[in-house]
Structure 1
């Protein structure tokens, strides 16, 4: 599924599902005065009964108004400054994953990059200047010292600090997550 098409469908469905169009929701967000995604999300859900998905869409779009960014811009921003040395590790992971098949979607966000097939199977983040954090969705995998249990949108996580750590074991976990997606 094309993410942009899915987003457009959600925007088109806003009036029927929430009673307001996107511009009307922008007015609500602006009048509330919140500047953080989580604050806007909570406000829309608690005060207006907007579902999580639509509230997330409204909050993200409200905060990104006027910011013309591309996926490349988002990745460039993630690996700027002190994190620039991590860019080759990111590029290597993406190259390994996209070799799995033509159905891999690389979807940059503000602070991470989602790797998807029919659903997200991995997430690459740079939480510090010294390591990447690779989130994996591996429902049946047992945790190890290296493959740690994670919370949130991924079941497991692996820290990557050097190219040597992008080895057969890590690629195997990525491929398993890809196959499960």
Structure 2
């Protein structure tokens, strides 16, 4: 997808990240909106640039477990639910990839499973659309 970004837009990922950094947009959603509205990027490309610019994708951290630890900091009781969900999901399909982000966890495979995030000590929110 990174190579497609360059081929389709004429700018490298680093050039897009530099542009985003100059805008000083603090939130992921603001970055995506800016890229889509001001530069006509598709949602997929805007999402890629935003995640990379924020360093909140699994590829931007040296240890995937750090993202999980951050998600459940102060909400450790939900981590047990996360671990159980991952175990059960992987029983359903062996090719599902669990992709933690800074604030949520998504799965990718043949099944379309909703992302979710631990909002607080008492709430786990599925991101249903």
| Interval of TM-score (by shorter of Structure 1 and Structure 2) | 0.7 to 0.9
Q: Note the 1:146-165 alignment, pairs <5 A.
A: 150=128, 152=129
Matched residue, 1:75: 68
Query: Which residue, out of 88, 92, 99, partners 1:96?
Result: 88
Choose 120-129 or 39-48, whichever is displaced more.
120-129
Q: CA deviation at 1:134?
A: 4.3
Deviations 1:13-61 (A, max 9, x none): 2222112111111221122221211222121112211111111111111
Provide the C-alpha distance between the structure 1 equivalents of 2:126 and 2:26, rounded to a whole number of angstroms.
Answer: 28
CA distance, structure 1, for counterparts of residue 92 and residue 111 of structure 2: 15
Q: How many residues align?
A: 126
More strand by share: 1
Q: TM-score of the superposition, structure 1-length normalised?
A: 0.61
- Corresponding residue of 1:179: none
Query: What does residue 13 of structure 1 align with?
Result: 4
Root mean square deviation, CA, Å:
2.1
2:124 counterpart of 1:132: yes
1:61 maps to 2:61 = no
Q: What are the superposed Cα offsets for residues 49-92 of structure 1, whole Å, 9 maximum, x if unpaired? A: 11111111111111118x634321111111112x0122212211
Change (3 A) 1:101 1:26: closer
- Asked if the contact 1:112/1:124 (under 8 Å) is kept, the reply is yes
In structure 2, the CA distance between the partners of 1:32 and 1:131, relative to structure 1 (3 Å rule), is closer
Is contact 1:45–1:52 with CA below 8 Å preserved after alignment? yes
Cross-structure match for 2:32? 41
Q: What is the TM-score when the length of structure 2 is the normalising length?
A: 0.82
Structure 1 gaps of 5+ residues are 1-9, 136-149, 153-181
